[in-house]
Structure 1
Amino acid sequence: MEDNRLLRKSRILIAADNFRLITPLTDSLSKIQIHVRLTVSKQATAVYSDWLPDLIIVDLQTQFDHGIACLTQLKSIVQDAVPILALTGPDAVASRQAALSQGAKDILSLPCDAAEALARVRNLLELRCLHQRLRQPDATMISQDHHQTHDIQSNFCQRLARLVVYRDRDTGTHAMRMSHYAAALGRAAGLTAVESDLLQQACPLHDIGKIAIPDRILLKPAPLDSDEWSMMQTHTTIGADLLAGDDSALLRIAHDTALTHHEKWDGSGYPQGLSGESIPLVGRITAICDVFDALTSVRPYKPAWPVKDAVAAICQQGGRHFEPRLVKAFCTILPELLAIKAHYTEPKTVA
């Protein structure tokens, strides 16, 4: 009920060149009495300036060039972090990447069910509310202490992380394990309490760039071929682009983890081929935690590895994939990591 009140108070501008294609979406929004205004792509900037919506939805399905031009123009004038949701077809890889590069904060592939569409819209509107509180503190906000401000920033990151959960059908437990693994390993590696807490809040965003990866790749129940793997690798730079430009310590850490968690100690990783200490420490920490969780979790293409086998694989990669000092710290705190793993287990599937 509370979520629907947020939606009803919000105004959504939808820019499209074929309203028939988005009828299911507009019908879903109208059922909860949300304020929606439709316009064609070429008039979107004028309508935006006149109406000042809380969320903009741009359809790229019919007139792709018009849609991208619309995004480019909106990017130059949109104020107060008004989020943009781009609509694409199910396999429109170029459209997804172009939309994200022009400022879209999420991608919705059509057709989709009403529940997913409303969840994405609600999540972006919540992000707008949180971003306004972060960027435009009023007198009450100024009087709040550090812990209250930190809570708002943490909530902001959690909302962003939900975008990945929606995209890859994850239950959210991967993000929870990752955040606690990273904080624990960060403490063992010498991060201060404040630094490890920031890493815990930022770590769930390490895969935010996956919102641009097509379902046929992201959800493929088999190993990826070379072209698919090349596409998957772009989630690091896309994620970094989405998180760039913010001056908060939390989002700077989130940017670094998104960009560098697939770099390797010996320089053989991606996307930049960084090596050794040129890789930010938060990226090095996240790399070990991500591999440990991936190995010990069920994936569409593999069963979970036994913990002892996963630990052995990580130890073998010391000096190659991982910083040797962090591998040693990882082994030292393994009991703590296993306690985290036991606490944030995947829910049982009921047949």
Structure 2
Amino acid sequence: MEVQPLQTVLVVDDMATNIDILLEVLKGDYKVKVALNGEEALEVIDSPNPPDIVLMDIMMPEMDGYEVCRRMKLNKKSRYIPVIFVTTKNAEDDETFGFELGAVDYITKPINPAIVKARVKTHLALHNQSIALEHQVADRTKDLYSTRLEIVRRLGIAAEYRDNETGLHIIRMSKYCRTIAKGFGFCDKEADILLNAAPMHDVGKIGIPDNILIKPGKLTPEEWKTMMTHTAIGGKIIGVHDNNLMTTARTVALTHHEKWNGTGYPNGLSGKNIPIEGRIAAIADVFDALTSKRPYKNAWPEEKAFDLILKERGEHFDPELVEIFFKNIEEIISIKQQYSK
């Protein structure tokens, strides 16, 4: 049977005799660290190996226990460490103030060893249970996100098969999106959400008839009208959700054919009324479409595609995003070469 390591108790008191008493009570069941003042306590708490629980006197010089507790609760690293005040201050107002600061319990001096042991054991058990529950929730959340992500990827690939494309288009387009998003100021998490949502941009093509979707020649006005419905179809396929991944995927599907000047579809949005995710996807999708071979055209040279994007700055595309695209052109070209057909 695996032996569990002892949990750590930090005892904070400016009186060495009080520390010695608590050390004697706890040393058989826990690893005990000590601090003689508030500054020392915060150093131990902020160390690479913080305590699992803190037993602390209130009345200490320079920085009292209340202030130590307050600072602990403002620190993300230590805010959940249980604090038990061990003190002669046992008035109701004192206890109320301590609980408001985040303490979990009070033990009155002179201490009763049995009470100290019981309180420490109880609050460590509650703390351990809380940590275990947080890990369980985090694991389930991760599993749920992974499942959603896989659904998004699979539907994106399904759309590409319908459009007679390879999965490389959605890889390139998605990575272009992430590059532009990072240049715009997205944090890594936000940029990764767009990266993982972008493969759904053309999922609505699943609902477009083959005679239109893979027609080798130019579409008639009526056929083009049908083709444009793939954005709305994509929005319906993805649906309305309360999580960022699916919400972003729906936004991209609905708005990646909107244009900065308001002449795009399906809703004729213009300027910053177009969600930023759609504006980013518009540049990424058009660049990859231009530089890729399709049933109805050959791939354009990169320079010709660059010229069109510059020409459409302020017309089709967000001018700021065009600037970001070219500032990151080396990374864009590297992605294109790495995931070429």
The normalised TM-score by structure 1 is: 0.57
Question: CA–CA distance in 2 between the matches of 1:306 and 1:286?
Answer: 21
Partner AA of 1:314 in structure 2: I
Cα offset for 1:167? Answer: 1.2
**CA offsets, 1:37-59, max 9 Å, x none?**
xxxxxxxxxxxxxxxxxxxxxxx
CA gap 1:215/1:148 in 2 versus in 1, 3 angstroms: same
Structure 2 equivalent of residue 199 of structure 1: 194
CA gap 1:145/1:212 in 2 versus in 1, 3 angstroms: closer
Instruction: Choose from 317, 327, 335 the match for 1:340.
Output: 335
Check conservation: 2:262, 2:271, Cα contact below 8 A: yes
Cα offset for 1:147? Answer: 5.1
> Equivalent residues in 2 for 1:123-272 (5 A)?
142-144=137-139, 148-272=143-267
Partner AA of 1:338 in structure 2: I
> Equivalent residues in 2 for 1:6-85 (5 A)?
none
When the two chains are superposed, the root-mean-square deviation of aligned CA atoms in Å is 1.8
Structure 2 equivalent of residue 308 of structure 1: 303
**CA offsets, 1:98-119, max 9 Å, x none?**
xxxxxxxxxxxxxxxxxxxxxx
Question: CA–CA distance in 2 between the matches of 1:143 and 1:238?
Answer: 33
Cα offset for 1:151? Answer: 2.9
Partner AA of 1:168 in structure 2: D
CA gap 1:140/1:298 in 2 versus in 1, 3 angstroms: same
Partner AA of 1:339 in structure 2: S
Cα offset for 1:176? Answer: 0.6
Percent identity over the alignment? 44
CA gap 1:141/1:174 in 2 versus in 1, 3 angstroms: farther
CA gap 1:163/1:141 in 2 versus in 1, 3 angstroms: farther
Structure 1 equivalent of residue 6 of structure 2: none
Structure 2 equivalent of residue 28 of structure 1: none
Q: How many residues align?
A: 209
**CA offsets, 1:234-260, max 9 Å, x none?**
000110111122111100000000000
Check conservation: 2:194, 2:277, Cα contact below 8 A: yes
Question: CA–CA distance in 1 between the matches of 2:257 and 2:306?
Answer: 18
**CA offsets, 1:265-286, max 9 Å, x none?**
0101111000000000000000
Cα offset for 1:188? Answer: 0.6
Partner AA of 2:172 in structure 1: R
SS at match of 1:268: coil
Question: CA–CA distance in 2 between the matches of 1:328 and 1:285?
Answer: 12
Question: CA–CA distance in 2 between the matches of 1:143 and 1:241?
Answer: 30
Structure 2, gaps ≥5 residues long: 1-132
Structure 2 equivalent of residue 280 of structure 1: 275
CA gap 1:148/1:312 in 2 versus in 1, 3 angstroms: same
The normalised TM-score by structure 2 is: 0.59
Question: CA–CA distance in 2 between the matches of 1:185 and 1:142?
Answer: 33
